[in-house]
């Protein structure tokens, strides 16, 4: 099995069908062509399955995961030979007494293990070392004890199937299959309701969501192209008036006040859902306008500002007060908020502090950190790039900075410098493609060494060529400098985009527990911090993450804060996700049809404009694409 396509149920079914051992193998984390953010989900999946096998008395050694590069055929043959010998020593699985019924029971348990694992068994660090340590600890075993005792999921539900892979993949639990099914039937208002019910930012996510649902689509995991779920969402949100959906509200208001610190996607989502529950909410933010990284970090050609403004305005009601230009640790403090009568506080300040490059000359004129560079344009309309521009980094911030610089007047060329290969860049692949189409130069296997200056101003970047060596702690192959390959890249502007981190100085001063990664420590299921009544979520907890994950954190925080203020237990039994309703399949399914091609502004035109790059598809195209869906939800009703 390939790690990029793995699913817990595949492994269990292999054993149930008579396999004596299963090996999961694939590219090194970061080199996978199907999972661009690395294969750490596969690592967690194997750990989960080993725990399941151990609970029914089977040796965990019957299951192994190995990272194997595409060119390491000899090594893979050696691994297979060694594993076969190991399995032979363990003996035939079919000879074990009663193993069949036990595996059948485990098969029925799998969907619920995955459901709880998403909430509870996800460690904050995405490294092999951290995941191995987590599953060797007590918490993972405690969760399994609760699962098997029926405390986390109602016992009778264990025999029932759960939702489609696309729904399970979405942090918000969006029934993607449902709105796709409505599109196929031409029922666009119903499709909008299916999108909006779980997600207060439908138009935003239709443009910038990382669409994990597509990577888990069964068309994709069986070797084809996934349904273009995000593009179909864009078709609906651009076509239908948001007024067709009215969120439910309580009959009477609640007496408590809640403070939210941070007006990004997590904070605004929390405020919206708390308002819907009847609470009065005050949202504080250090910036001039609400939106957080949606406004500060994402360029207008990906997320037009009128779209963002409309979506935020729709969330602000009579229960929500915005106080902009207010910074935690300066105008307000954690203690002060509680002293001012707020019954609960939610921290959602994001990760707004750029990581330094830590090389000589970083303070030279003409050197900018990515968040400052992006904020100057997105908030104040100032263009900082000129002449020959270099961008250091391989994430989405680096790509956004490069594409923005390419559009600014007086720029001759833009070069991205990344120390590993393109396959290991964490940025979205289609965004990298778009940057190259627009004329951005991508220099890989190149590391910065020193910033050259002339009279205190940037003049160039000294770099060294790399080759890939052994994997480091992240599982990716370490870049090793090549002696004698040093050279200087002449530059007039340098943008450093090597990552961001949360600003937690005030949190530490307040005596609140933080992690060794420099984020706020929380209970992963409830988002409760070490201080009673104080909750945190979004990038301030996870570090830089996706928009949809931040929205999901805000939604979860609202639920937990409501429980806290209502005197209920913060931890509640988990519920299996299932299709909420039945949608009659549309006639004329497009079996074997090719995935749609998304229309874009031509690359030559994009270089001089900040107009939205991606166009909405036509109704005919949307319906044809929607009819490619396999309707996995129908399996969940058998």
Instruction: Give the model confidence (pLDDT) of 431-471 as tens digits.
Output: 999 999 999 999 999 999 999 999 999 999 999 999 988 87
pLDDT tens sequence across 378-406: 988 999 999 999 999 999 999 999 999 99
pLDDT of residue 221: 74
Which two structure tokens, joined as six digits, stand for 486?
Answer: 């040093």
* Cα 568–chain centre separation: 30
220 φ/ψ angles, rounded to the nearest 5 degrees: -75, -45
Which two structure tokens, joined as six digits, stand for 542?
Answer: 């996870």
d(CA 118, CA 107): 18
d(CA 500, CA 328): 18
**C-beta of residue 448 within 8 angstroms of C-beta of residue 466:** no
Rank 63-77, 195-209, 568-582 by mean pLDDT and report only the highest. 195-209
CA distances from 369 to 1, 131, 303, 446, 452 (A): 41, 31, 21, 19, 17
Picking from 400, 381, 368, 375, the residue whose alpha carbon sits closest to that of residue 293 is: 375
Which H helix or E strand runs over 346? strand 344-347
pLDDT of residue 220: 85
% of the chain exceeding 70 in pLDDT: 82
pTM of this prediction?
0.79
Instruction: Give 633's DSSP letter.
Output: G
**C-beta of residue 556 within 8 angstroms of C-beta of residue 152:** no
Instruction: Give 241's DSSP letter.
Output: -
pLDDT of residue 153: 42
Q: What is the CA radius of gyration of the chain?
A: 25
d(CA 289, CA 273): 20
Residues, the chain: 638
Which two structure tokens, joined as six digits, stand for 432?
Answer: 């990298």
d(CA 599, CA 618): 10
pLDDT tens sequence across 341-369: 999 999 999 999 999 998 989 999 999 99
In 330-480, where does DSSP find H-type helix? 334-339, 370-380, 396-407, 429-437
For β-strands 367-369 and 493-496, DSSP reports them as parallel
């Amino acid at each position: 099995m390939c790690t990029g396509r793995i699913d817990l149920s595949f492994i269990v079914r292999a054993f149930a069908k008579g396999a004596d051992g299963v090996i999961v193998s694939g590219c090194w984390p970061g080199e996978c062509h199907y999972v661009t953010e690395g294969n750490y989900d596969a690592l967690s999946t194997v750990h989960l399955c080993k725990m399941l096998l151990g609970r029914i008395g089977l040796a965990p050694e019957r299951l192994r995961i190995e990272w194997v590069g595409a060119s390491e055929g000899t090594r893979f043959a050696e691994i297979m030979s060694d594993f076969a010998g190991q399995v032979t020593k363990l003996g035939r699985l079919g000879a074990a007494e009663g193993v069949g019924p036990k595996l059948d029971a485990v098969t029925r348990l799998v969907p619920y293990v995955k459901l709880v694992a998403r909430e509870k068994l996800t460690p904050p660090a995405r490294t092999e070392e951290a995941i191995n340590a987590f599953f060797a600890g007590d918490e993972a075993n405690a969760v399994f004890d609760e699962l098997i005792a029926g405390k986390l999921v109602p016992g009778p539900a264990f025999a029932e199937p759960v939702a489609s892979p696309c729904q399970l993949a979405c942090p918000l639990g969006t029934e993607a299959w449902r709105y796709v099914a409505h599109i196929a039937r031409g029922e666009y208002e119903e499709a909008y309701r299916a999108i909006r019910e779980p997600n207060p930012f439908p138009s935003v996510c239709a443009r910038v969501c990382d669409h994990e649902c597509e990577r888990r689509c069964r068309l994709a995991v069986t070797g084809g192209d996934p349904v273009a779920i995000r593009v179909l969402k864009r078709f609906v949100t651009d076509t239908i008036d948001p007024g067709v959906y009215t969120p439910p509200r309580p009959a009477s208001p609640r007496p408590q006040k809640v403070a939210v610190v941070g007006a990004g996607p997590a904070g605004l989502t929390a405020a919206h859902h708390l308002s819907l529950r009847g609470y009065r909410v005050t949202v504080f933010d250090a910036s001039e306008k609400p939106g957080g990284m949606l406004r500060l970090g994402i360029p207008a050609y990906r997320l037009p500002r009128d779209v963002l403004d409309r979506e935020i305005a729709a969330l602000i009601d009579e229960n929500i007060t915005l106080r902009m230009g207010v910074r935690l640790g300066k105008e307000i403090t954690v203690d002060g908020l509680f002293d001012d009568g707020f019954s609960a506080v939610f921290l959602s300040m994001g990760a707004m502090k750029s990581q330094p490059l830590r090389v000589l000359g970083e303070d030279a004129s003409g050197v900018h950190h990515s968040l400052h560079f992006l904020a100057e344009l997105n908030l104040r309309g100032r263009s900082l790039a000129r002449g020959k521009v270099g961008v250091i980094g391989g994430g989405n911030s680096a790509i956004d900075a490069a594409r923005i610089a390419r559009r600014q007047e007086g720029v001759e060329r833009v070069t991205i410098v990344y120390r590993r290969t393109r396959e290991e860049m964490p940025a979205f692949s289609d965004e990298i493609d778009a940057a190259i189409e627009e004329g951005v130069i991508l220099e890989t296997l190149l590391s910065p060494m020193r910033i050259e200056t002339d009279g205190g101003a940037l003049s160039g970047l000294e770099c060294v060529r790399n080759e890939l060596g052994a994997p480091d702690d992240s599982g990716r192959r370490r870049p090793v400098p090549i002696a004698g390959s040093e050279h200087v890249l002449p530059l007039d502007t340098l943008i450093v985009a090597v990552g961001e981190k949360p600003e937690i100085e005030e949190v530490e001063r307040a005596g609140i527990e933080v992690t060794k990664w420099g984020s706020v420590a929380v209970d992963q299921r409830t988002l409760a911090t070490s201080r009673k009544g104080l909750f945190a979520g979004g990038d301030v907890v996870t570090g830089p993450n996706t928009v949809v994950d931040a929205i999901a954190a805000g939604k979860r925080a609202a639920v937990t804060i409501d429980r806290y203020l209502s005197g209920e237990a913060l931890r509640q039994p988990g519920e299996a996700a299932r299709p909420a309703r039945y949608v009659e399949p549309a006639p004329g399914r497009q079996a074997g049809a090719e995935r749609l091609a998304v229309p874009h502004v031509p690359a030559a035109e994009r270089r001089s404009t900040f107009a939205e790059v991606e166009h909405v598809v036509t109704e005919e195209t949307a319906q044809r694409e929607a009819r490619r869906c396999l309707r996995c939800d129908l399996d969940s009703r058998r």
